[in-house]
Amino acid sequence: MPDLSILQSFELSEILSEEPDRCRLTLLGYLPSTWNASTDTENRRLRAIILIERNAFASEHVASFFNDLVYKAELIESTDIYSWFAAWISSQASEIKQPQGDVKINVICPATDVHVRKYTKQKSILVQETPELYRRIIAPYIANLPPERTRWVTEILAGRSEQDKVLYSSSDYIILPDMKWDLHTTDSLYLIAIARDPTLRSLRDLRGDVHLSLLTSIRQEAYRIVGDKWGIGRGGIRMWIHYQPSYYHFHVHIVNANHALPGMGMAVGQAHLLEDVIALLKINSDVFKVMDLTYGLGEQHGLYEPMKTAQSEVDWIS
């Protein structure tokens, strides 16, 4: 029967695919003929595809995760209450200097009730937001958010954190790697463009006569950066704006187009492609002020209950 000793003789010829979101690699190479006793080839190497996928961590052992499994951890970055580490779960992986580590560990401390709700598994409903509901429910909700929610953004924009990671800076916005990215795997490349204007909170605030130059500049600089640094050409990145966003300081997500994101990040309704936003603003400068927006809301979101109740006022048919 095949065993580890035969696997150790695997000769890699090509990486067929990298799927960081699934923690999986697909490899093409060769194994010795002794792998399969049914073959009639002797002393020849057999072409083989090997899929390597990290198993889910056993929930019954997570209490001792950091004591029993993690061999080494290095701080990647820390901004306000957010920190993230690269960690190795074997000494050998550390010794061969796997730069991204075996696992990436994000820490939020101190975590607020809002963070707990955000990361709690939850059911979602689809809601329709009219301009009137925005004025009556959404705008007051945003206005009453404590400044601490976006202090980490302020720290970056003020030049007090993450400055060694900034890829582009102007009087209007900056571009830097997002904390979701491991900073190494190009297929999962994830950057963020953050506007400097604190009054620009979400998609609803965009006006064509004011913000088209900002959005087109972000698009242009994003392509220049990924082209110069990673050789990614036109059409090689996907850029979008979330609504509702995870934090209310305007930002644009910039991600390798081949990165299949898990979860709600690219869900229809929540993610609005930058190209489409620019096109709509060219047609109507006030389009996001006057149009209805339909999106999913998780039951732990602060807007869930008021928006769920308000749906009785919305005529979904007309």
Confidence of residue 264 (pLDDT cuts 50, 70, 90): very low
Is 211 annotated for ligand binding?
A: no
Q: What is the tally of structural domains in the chain?
A: 3
Based on the domain organization, do 24 and 78 belong to the same domain?
no
Quote the pLDDT of residue 287. Answer: 98
Based on the domain organization, do 136 and 259 belong to the same domain?
yes
Asked if 154 contacts 196 with a C-beta cutoff of 8 angstroms, the reply is no
Based on the domain organization, do 291 and 161 belong to the same domain?
yes
Based on the domain organization, do 177 and 44 belong to the same domain?
no
Domain for residue 318, yes or no?
A: no
Q: Domain boundary residue among 86, 108, 130?
A: 108
Between 317 and 237, residue with greater pLDDT: 237
Confidence of residue 167 (pLDDT cuts 50, 70, 90): very high
Domain for residue 270, yes or no?
A: yes
User: What backbone torsions phi and psi does residue 198 show, to the nearest 5 degrees?
Assistant: -70, -15
Quote the pLDDT of residue 38. Answer: 58
Q: Which two tokens stand for residue 46?
A: 């057999």
Rounded to two decimals, the pTM is 0.81
Based on the domain organization, do 208 and 262 belong to the same domain?
yes
Q: In what order do the strands lie in the sheet with 24-32?
A: 11-19, 24-32, 45-53
Q: Which H or E run contains 117?
A: helix 113-119
Quote the pLDDT of residue 19. Answer: 79
Contacts of 25 (CB under 8 A, 6+ apart): 15, 17, 18, 19, 51, 52, 53
Based on the domain organization, do 188 and 98 belong to the same domain?
no
CA 81 to CA 146: how far, in whole Å? 14
Quote the pLDDT of residue 3. Answer: 72
Is 243 annotated for ligand binding?
A: yes
User: What backbone torsions phi and psi does residue 280 show, to the nearest 5 degrees?
Assistant: -65, -40
Q: Which two tokens stand for residue 182?
A: 């491991």
For the segment 27-58, what is each residue's pLDDT rounded down to a tens digit? Answer: 999 988 877 765 555 567 888 888 888 877 77
Q: Which H or E run contains 28?
A: strand 24-32
Based on the domain organization, do 211 and 165 belong to the same domain?
yes
CA 172 to CA 194: how far, in whole Å? 9
Active site residue 251: yes
Quote the pLDDT of residue 317. Answer: 56
Quote the pLDDT of residue 180. Answer: 83
Based on the domain organization, do 66 and 144 belong to the same domain?
no
Domain for residue 33, yes or no?
A: yes
For the segment 107-146, what is each residue's pLDDT rounded down to a tens digit? Answer: 888 788 888 888 777 889 999 999 999 999 999 999 999 9
Is 301 annotated for ligand binding?
A: no
Based on the domain organization, do 272 and 222 belong to the same domain?
yes
Confidence of residue 152 (pLDDT cuts 50, 70, 90): very high
Least confident residue range of 180-184, 222-226, 278-282: 180-184
Is 197 annotated for ligand binding?
A: no
Domain for residue 134, yes or no?
A: yes
Is 71 annotated for ligand binding?
A: no
- Considering the candidates 61, 115, 211, 251, report the single residue annotated as catalytic: 251
CA 256 to CA 311: how far, in whole Å? 36
Q: Which domain holds residue 98?
A: 59-108
Least confident residue range of 64-68, 146-150, 200-204: 64-68
Quote the pLDDT of residue 139. Answer: 97
Q: Mean pLDDT over residues 289-307, rounded? A: 94
Q: Mean pLDDT over residues 274-280, rounded? A: 98
Token look-up 């087109």 returns 216
Q: Mean pLDDT over residues 223-252, rounded? A: 96
For the segment 184-202, what is each residue's pLDDT rounded down to a tens digit? Answer: 889 889 999 999 999 999 9
Based on the domain organization, do 47 and 64 belong to the same domain?
no
CATH of the domain at 244: 3.30.428.10
**Residue % of the chain over a pLDDT of 70:** 92
Is the pLDDT assigned to residue 213 strictly greater than 90? yes
Domain for residue 30, yes or no?
A: yes
Based on the domain organization, do 217 and 303 belong to the same domain?
yes
Based on the domain organization, do 87 and 35 belong to the same domain?
no
Asked if 131 contacts 204 with a C-beta cutoff of 8 angstroms, the reply is no
